Amino acid sequence: MTDTDGENVLFVVLDTVRKDRLTVYDETRETTPHLAEFADEAAVYEGAVAPAPWTLPVHASMFTGLYPSEHEATQEDPYLAGATTLAESLSAAGYDTACYSSNAWITSYTNLTAGFDDHDNFFQIMPSELLSGPLASLWQTMNDNDTLRSVADRMVQVGNKIHEHLAEGGGGDTKTPQVIDKTIDFVDESEDFFAFINLMDAHLPYHPPEEYAERFAPGVDSTEVCQNSKEFNCGARDIDDEEWDDIEGLYDAELAHIDDQLDRLFSHLKDTGQWDDTTVVVCADHGELFGEHDLYGHEFGIYDPLVNVPLMVKHPDIEPGRDDETTVELVDLYHTILDAAGAEGRGEPLQSARSLLSADYREFAEELGGVPRGEVGFVEYHQPVVELRQLEGKASSAGIELDEQSRFYSRMGAARTVEEKYIHCTRIPDEAYHVGTDPDETANLVGTDDEPTHLKRALFDFVDSVDATWPDEADGADGDVLSEMDDETKDRLQDLGYID
């Protein structure tokens, strides 16, 4: 390996974590005191915007510097193809690279692990070494070969079914301690490292370790509360206030467990003298809804609890403190990490105006819809075909017929500044909010004198700039996406458990 030109990099994603449940953003909460200590030496951003409300497109954007419509790893085709990743660029710059996660989307199966020298397992019933190191290349070869493809598909299908069975019964143990253990081993064995970890505990279903459940959800049986968001979203299952409290207590317990484990990693870096030379990025890929706007989980909406995410960055060139004036897009983390590492983008080139380390961060020359480009972040939610089929199955079992002119069948997009937000959908009326004074997004401004039409224009200009294909923009006649999808893509979605 060669000497690198920058710092070590630790990139932490807190999967499915809401901003408002963290002590960092709400000091009255006791969920994440260690993360709050970290925040004292980091920049804490209030206006961070995720490019989508779910794992795959967000990680693909952070790993490539591209928006979902550009990298095309979406629900219609859930695989990253033809784009050079951050890990590939850092590996070429001389970094040892590793990815440790129990998220089934972050695997060689979806191409998100391209460029990582080592990565952990994607199903808890498989040993970590099965798809890491040299075997990752073999796995990729299997997926690219028509004859071997069916073998790879069967492996994923079996793993997914066993994982779901364990999780639904409360028997799916957290993988976070193992992720932290592997990360510690990796950084100790490397002189120059890029370590990426995704911590999945706060993703449904919630079965926190007992000691944390006793603190935040005493007496709650995690197997008795509603842990299937589709049952609630389709109307087959009601959740009263008491049950929401129980669900949120379990969620908070998961956050507390993550916090302790992350502190174990940070403390190790400090104890071994690696902390000061390590850039640390902590964010969520998306959040979660607990009944707001009559939704549960992170499907069928792009409201702020899903896309206005926590973000903290520690680096010598970034002044610690709270920033509530800057719109930050998670897409920019690609450029920030390249900059911190002193590496060139072998795919998307490093853009100074997109690096948080740069003095000219977000100082773009162009405007979109008359709005300065640096002031607005964008969200894309492609047609939720995989989630929709599960929702339809739950509805059918309950004798419920879903309205096709509803958010469940809609393509969505949003433009957001630190004060305002505009949401455009294909099958339901648009929405707009003054999120600065109405953070819960309760007063729809569309049709009023306060409607931010400039953000609507900005959103449409953005859609054109990324060459997004919106289905029949004029009337929202999306059509049946699955009927137009090739058999191979349908098989892949089924193997990952997103189509029954």
Phi, psi of 119 (to 5 degrees): -150, 155
Query: How many angstroms separate the CA atoms of 229 and 205, rounded?
Result: 9
User: What is the domain partition of the chain in residue ranges?
Assistant: 8-364, 374-495
Task: Give 87's contacts (C-beta < 8 A, 6+ positions apart).
Answer: 63, 97, 99, 113, 114, 115, 116, 194, 196
Query: How many angstroms separate the CA atoms of 10 and 341, rounded?
Result: 11
Nearest alpha carbon to residue 255 among 295, 291, 209: 209
> End-to-end CA distance of the chain, in Å?
46
Query: How many angstroms separate the CA atoms of 167 and 176, rounded?
Result: 15
Reading the block at residue 119, the tokens are 């990565």
Which of 35-49, 343-357, 448-462, 483-497 is predicted least confidently? Answer: 483-497
Reading the block at residue 199, the tokens are 């911590």
The one-character DSSP state at 16 is T
Q: Residue 109 — pLDDT band, cuts 50, 70, 90?
A: confident
Q: Please state the rounded mean pLDDT for residues 37-57.
A: 97
Identify the pLDDT of residue 225.
97
Q: Is the pLDDT of residue 173 over 70?
A: no
Is residue 322 within 8 Å of 24, Cβ to Cβ?
no
Q: What is the dihedral of CA 58, 63, 64, 69, to 10 degrees?
A: -10
Which of 8-22, 34-48, 485-499 is predicted least confidently? Answer: 485-499
Is residue 208 within 8 Å of 113, Cβ to Cβ?
no
Q: Is the pLDDT of residue 476 over 50?
A: no
Ordered DSSP codes for 80-109: --S---HHHHHHHTT-EEEEEE--TTSSTT
Nearest alpha carbon to residue 350 among 222, 458, 342: 342
Identify the pLDDT of residue 494.
53
Q: What is the pLDDT of residues 412-462, one digit of tens each?
A: 999 999 999 999 999 999 999 999 999 999 999 999 999 999 999 999 999
Reading the block at residue 57, the tokens are 């497109």
Task: Give 53's contacts (C-beta < 8 A, 6+ positions apart).
Answer: 286, 287, 298, 299, 301, 302, 306, 307, 379, 381
Q: Is the pLDDT of residue 411 over 90?
A: yes
Determine the angle formed by the axes of helices 146-168 and 487-495, rounding to 10 degrees.
Answer: 30
* Strand 96-101 relative to strand 118-119, pairing: parallel
Query: How many angstroms separate the CA atoms of 208 and 386, rounded?
Result: 27
Phi, psi of 407 (to 5 degrees): -65, -25
Q: Is the pLDDT of residue 191 over 60?
A: yes
Is residue 306 within 8 Å of 53, Cβ to Cβ?
yes
Which of 122-131, 215-224, 311-320, 485-494 is predicted least confidently? Answer: 122-131
Identify the pLDDT of residue 478.
40
Q: Is the pLDDT of residue 126 over 70?
A: no
Superfamily of domain 8-364: Alkaline Phosphatase, subunit A (3.40.720.10)
- What's the whole-number average pLDDT of the chain? 87
Residues in the chain, total: 500
The radius of gyration of the chain's CA atoms, rounded to the nearest angstrom, is 21
Query: How many angstroms separate the CA atoms of 487 and 337, rounded?
Result: 38
* 202 against 469, higher pLDDT: 202
Query: How many angstroms separate the CA atoms of 421 and 154, rounded?
Result: 43
Identify the pLDDT of residue 3.
54
Q: Residue 141 — pLDDT band, cuts 50, 70, 90?
A: low
Is residue 355 within 8 Å of 85, Cβ to Cβ?
no
Give the count of alpha carbons within 13 A of 344, CB side only.
Answer: 2
Task: Give 401's contacts (C-beta < 8 A, 6+ positions apart).
Answer: 395
Q: What is the pLDDT of residues 83-101, one digit of tens each?
A: 999 999 999 999 999 999 9
Query: How many angstroms separate the CA atoms of 470 and 411, rounded?
Result: 7
Q: How far is CA 251 from CA 16, 199, 215, 257, in A?
A: 10, 13, 12, 10
Question: In 93-196, which ranges are continuous DSSP H helix?
Answer: 134-144, 146-168, 176-188
Is residue 255 within 8 Å of 31, Cβ to Cβ?
yes
H, E, C per residue of 180-244 = HHHHHHHHHCCCCEEEEEEECCCCCCCCCCHHHHHHHCCCCCCCCCCCCHHHHHCCCCCCCHHHH
Task: Give 440's contacts (C-beta < 8 A, 6+ positions apart).
Answer: 292
Identify the pLDDT of residue 49.
98
Beta-bridge mates of residue 12: 197, 282
Which of 49-63, 107-121, 164-178, 475-489 is predicted least confidently? Answer: 475-489
Reading the block at residue 474, the tokens are 């004029």
Q: Please state the rounded mean pLDDT for residues 176-181.
A: 94
Query: How many angstroms separate the CA atoms of 41 and 32, rounded?
Result: 15
Q: Is the pLDDT of residue 491 over 90?
A: no
Query: How many angstroms separate the CA atoms of 411 and 167, rounded?
Result: 30
Reading the block at residue 458, the tokens are 């900005």
Reading the block at residue 78, the tokens are 């859930």
